[in-house]
Structure 1
Amino acid sequence: MPTAAATPTAAVTTTTSAAHITILAILTATTAYCFYKSRSLRRLKHSSNPNLTTTPQKGKIIFISETNTSKTLAQRLHNKLITNNLSFDLIDATNYEPEDLHKETLVLYVVSTWQDGNPPANGVFLSNWLNESAEDFRVGSSLLKDCKFAVFGVGSRVYGDKFNEVGKRFSREMRALGAVEILPFFEGDVDEGELDKVFSVWSEDVIRVLKSGEFSGNPSDLLEGNNSVYDYDDDDYEDDDEDDEVQSDIVDLEDIAGKAPSKKDMGVISSNGKKNGVKEMVTPVIRASLTKQGYKIIGSHSGVKICRWTKSQLRGRGGCYKHSFYGIESHRCMEATPSLACANKCVFCWRHHTNPVGKSWQWKMDDPLMIVNSALEQHKKMIKQMKGVPGVTSERLAEGLSPRHCALSLVGEPIMYPEINTLVDELHQRRISTFLVTNAQFPEKIASLKPITQLYVSVDAGTKDSMKAIDRPLFGDFWERFVDSLKALKDKQQRTVYRLTLVKGWNAEDVDAYSSLFAIGNPDFVEIKGVTYCGTSATSKLTMENVPWHADVKAFSEALAEKSNGEYEVACEHAHSCCILLAKVDKFKINGLLHTWIDYEKFHDLVASGKSFGSNEYMAVTPSWAVYGANEGGFDPDQARYKKERNHKTSR
């Protein structure tokens, strides 16, 4: 009986095992089919795009870009390759099907890293595909064995270990899939003023490799049988913790081809100025760039520059909007900053991001007295150069040599300087008034700031999303910092201003959003100015199409005043500067007369008294020619307005 009972049990066991094997086979086949199907569906999804090529033949330049920096660089490379008789297609990553990579013979990537080490929106799909494929054992390490490639990364070192993270990943993952890297990973920093130069070096290296006799200039023959032209480890792509703090002194651009030298190899001086353990803000590259733009660099982190309006009023040809709105004599105004660094990388920055950036003070600090004395000395030297220029009288020249006002804006974020209060005291003791502009990312600094003649906060957008796109802030909590800065502004007793810079296509339609911010900071004034076009570079993509006309600025200002329900009115204009001023009616309109001008002597007396005082105690009547709607359009009739004629003669 036992023997007879065992027989059906064995049969059941055998049948069950066979069933398990069958089910396992079905599941395996299903998994493989789903994997294939999902990729096929992705492919089908993208194949409807007419720009895609199903049988790639030319080399490809693929760019991943958020603000068009990488796109512009890729276009430049494309043009350079064409002039060298090298045939390539220029492709936006959005329009590329990653499944075609195994067909490629040569791919050049120009890749930006966006916030938190992530790719811009147009590169997410490609980035994810590379990552998934590189980590999927079913794909294998020879998928891209016939593909040669090179990667140029675009990023900012202020993001620490996330600097050029996307480009580094592309390099690693392409190699993991068997692709051959023809040049080491190149990386450019948008904030150190060397991006264009480094990219040019990389472009020339690419052309040199492609046209070298070894490869006969034929991408399909490139580096056959070799894994790379260079021998390097994956460690070369990892950020050394110490590298965030220092790089080499005046780095040979050829050396930047790989990674920047580490601190261990460099000694005590670096290109970002670290000397004996303390960084200097102005690197040799930054110094050269700013000097070329006309800045006089003071010490290790400050600067001064003469304004074109200073020259204009010296010649009796009119002052800037500050003269029309507030009574500042432009030829007696000094533009300076104690900090060339900033915490934003605004799309409309007319310095093209040649200044350093940072979220906190991390540099050597110069003495405030030295900064003030040196700024005045350099400013006077520049004023003296106007001697003998047509229209400059000896009287106005003498006045120019004795500045009575300091605009603390220029470039960078002056409020970052730890001794800003002491520096302001030094200016006020010389009876030099102060206008200070902050980008609203340091609310605690605003709260602790001593009385300023007029304190500005840049309000570049009315919503969180638009501010993120326009200001490109370094802080993750930038919006909270911005709101807290407006709240801190509300508590200041001296004159306060919202400064709005209108950029067509970016923020020139956000009337309601801007209006909603009035109650938070309750500013005395609102300045609305059209953006100034100062050329296009790899880090600035604005064109003349983004510049509003004065009529556009006027229409926006009138709409904004109307939204305030009588709290603000359009007070002044300066047509030449494309600038409008809104004033708080209950404080600055008395007996029907606007009082936007400033009694500067009264202000200095109030500061010297050491007592608390408010903005209504040092205001003055606005002259009729500066009031909005006046025939003069904000131009001082005591000045002689010159206009260039076609024959280049001047007429009055």
Structure 2
Amino acid sequence: MALSKENLNKLEKMGYRFVGRQGHAAAKICHWTKKSILNEGVCYKEKFYGIDSHRCLQMSPSIPFCHQKCLFCWRDFSATESQWEGKYDEPGEIIEGCIEAQRKLLCGFFGNEKSNPEKLAQSQNPNNAAISLAGEPLLYPVIEDLIDEFHRRSFTTFLVSNGMSPEKLKNLESEPTQLYISLDAPEKKIFNDLCQPQIPGSWEKLNESLEILPSIDCRTVIRTTCVQKRNMVNPEGYARLIKKADPDFLEIKAYMFVGYSRQRLEKENMPDFKEVNEFASAIGNLCGMEIVNESPESLVVLLGNK
């Protein structure tokens, strides 16, 4: 098993549902999936990209594995390894398990009179995979097979990577519907201090991934998590890196003071929407992008090319 029984139990109490036999893949109901079923709002991904929040499957094939220990991450790092270890479950088994886990986690909504019956029925058959729950998806040894299997089942796929695997990115024959690269610092020192990479040459690997991004055929997005007093500086540095990556979109979002990040950061590190908007505008003006959409409730703005 990839995780100890103690760590599995801890994550299960937090809402994770592990699938397969090796204990490295899991699903977890997104806050916005629940909100959508209750007609109380939708995720910014629905507003920005047309994804149905109530049909989104939030999952990861690599919960215990990540190259970084970012201060702003809401996860507990006590069980995180920087390289894949042990056996792995096959994509089909993971997907079937995640869909079944999602159905079980949502079963209580059938007894909630506030639930939207049509959305609740549709939620039983998700059609978008947010491969971003925790861990680094590209560390999963057969990530391309997972993407292929999702697409074979008529899913769209949104995959979020930290950019530490440029060699995999360069040779990615099966691409997701949308590929995110996280860019959370304008220069190396801030990157090292904030993202705490666990492998050598991390800043260089990130830059290599950004240079590869223009060759990717699917829709590409740079995502920046803004941490006040930490990385909301040097918009010129961000702009230089973004120009190199030439993404289709740029998401600038606020750090959220939640989970285990509260043990590493303070509440004042969470910027408000006005601060995020102003910082996004400053970066956009320097790299030829402009704000094309926004979600104040999620503290995120979307920039596209002018």
TM class by shorter chain equals: over 0.9
Larger radius of gyration: 1
- 2:295 counterpart residue number: 574
In structure 2, relative to structure 1, the CA distance for the partners of 1:448 and 1:536 (3 Å cut) is: closer
- Does residue 439 (structure 1) correspond to residue 197 (structure 2)? The answer is no
- Does residue 456 (structure 1) correspond to residue 184 (structure 2)? The answer is no
Q: How does 1:124-203 map to 2 (within 5 A)?
A: none
Check conservation: 1:344, 1:357, Cα contact below 8 A: no
Q: How does 1:249-398 map to 2 (within 5 A)?
A: 280-299=1-20, 300-340=23-63, 341-358=65-82, 360-398=83-121
Could you tell me how far apart the structure 2 residues matched to 1:390 and 1:310 are?
16
Check conservation: 2:273, 2:300, Cα contact below 8 A: yes
- Name the structure, 1 or 2, with higher relative contact order (CA <8 Å, separation 6+): 2
- Does residue 531 (structure 1) correspond to residue 237 (structure 2)? The answer is no
Could you tell me how far apart the structure 2 residues matched to 1:287 and 1:480 are?
34
**Shift, 1:289, TM fit:** 1.9
**Shift, 1:448, TM fit:** 2.2
**SS where residue 317 of structure 1 aligns?**
coil
In structure 2, relative to structure 1, the CA distance for the partners of 1:455 and 1:536 (3 Å cut) is: closer
**SS where residue 556 of structure 1 aligns?**
helix
For each residue in 1:242-292, what CA deviation from the matched residue of structure 2 results, as whole angstroms up to 9, or x when unmatched?
Answer: xxxxxxxxxxxxxxxxxxxxxxxxxxxxxxxxxxxxxx3212232122112
**Shift, 1:535, TM fit:** 4.9
In structure 2, relative to structure 1, the CA distance for the partners of 1:330 and 1:562 (3 Å cut) is: same
- Does residue 487 (structure 1) correspond to residue 217 (structure 2)? The answer is no
**SS where residue 291 of structure 2 aligns?**
strand
- 1:559 counterpart residue number: 282
**Shift, 1:395, TM fit:** 1.2
Check conservation: 2:27, 2:59, Cα contact below 8 A: yes
Counterpart pick for 1:402 among 118, 125, 131: 125
**Shift, 1:478, TM fit:** 0.6
TM-score where L is the length of structure 2: 0.95
Could you tell me how far apart the structure 2 residues matched to 1:481 and 1:363 are?
24
Check conservation: 2:128, 2:157, Cα contact below 8 A: yes
For each residue in 1:436-482, what CA deviation from the matched residue of structure 2 results, as whole angstroms up to 9, or x when unmatched?
Answer: 00011000111222121100001011101100001100112111111
- Does residue 467 (structure 1) correspond to residue 188 (structure 2)? The answer is no
Aligned structure 1 segments of 4 or more residues deviating by more than 6 angstroms: none
- 1:4 counterpart residue number: none
Check conservation: 1:339, 1:412, Cα contact below 8 A: yes
Could you tell me how far apart the structure 2 residues matched to 1:389 and 1:503 are?
37
Paired residue type of 1:451: E
In structure 2, relative to structure 1, the CA distance for the partners of 1:535 and 1:394 (3 Å cut) is: closer
Could you tell me how far apart the structure 2 residues matched to 1:456 and 1:414 are?
11
**Shift, 1:510, TM fit:** 2.5
In structure 2, relative to structure 1, the CA distance for the partners of 1:374 and 1:535 (3 Å cut) is: closer
Counterpart pick for 1:505 among 203, 216, 229: 229
- 1:418 counterpart residue number: 141
Check conservation: 1:530, 1:549, Cα contact below 8 A: yes
Check conservation: 1:384, 1:401, Cα contact below 8 A: no
Check conservation: 1:286, 1:356, Cα contact below 8 A: no
**SS where residue 42 of structure 2 aligns?**
coil
Paired residue type of 1:285: E
Could you tell me how far apart the structure 2 residues matched to 1:379 and 1:575 are?
27
**Shift, 1:323, TM fit:** 1.0
**SS where residue 470 of structure 1 aligns?**
helix
Paired residue type of 2:165: F
**SS where residue 109 of structure 2 aligns?**
coil
**SS where residue 111 of structure 2 aligns?**
coil
For each residue in 1:37-73, what CA deviation from the matched residue of structure 2 results, as whole angstroms up to 9, or x when unmatched?
Answer: xxxxxxxxxxxxxxxxxxxxxxxxxxxxxxxxxxxxx
Could you tell me how far apart the structure 1 residues matched to 2:75 and 2:14 are?
8
Could you tell me how far apart the structure 1 residues matched to 2:94 and 2:259 are?
31
**SS where residue 386 of structure 1 aligns?**
helix
Q: How many residues align?
A: 302
Could you tell me how far apart the structure 1 residues matched to 2:166 and 2:176 are?
15
**Shift, 1:393, TM fit:** 2.4
For each residue in 1:328-355, what CA deviation from the matched residue of structure 2 results, as whole angstroms up to 9, or x when unmatched?
Answer: 1101101000101111000011013254
Could you tell me how far apart the structure 1 residues matched to 2:104 and 2:236 are?
46
Gaps of 5+ in 1: 1-279, 586-652
Check conservation: 2:74, 2:260, Cα contact below 8 A: no
**SS where residue 395 of structure 1 aligns?**
helix
Paired residue type of 1:391: K
CA RMSD of aligned residues (A): 1.4
Could you tell me how far apart the structure 1 residues matched to 2:268 and 2:81 are?
28
- 1:619 counterpart residue number: none
In structure 2, relative to structure 1, the CA distance for the partners of 1:422 and 1:445 (3 Å cut) is: same
Gaps of 5+ in 2: none
**Shift, 1:584, TM fit:** 2.0
For each residue in 1:326-385, what CA deviation from the matched residue of structure 2 results, as whole angstroms up to 9, or x when unmatched?
Answer: 111101101000101111000011013254221x32221111110111111111111222
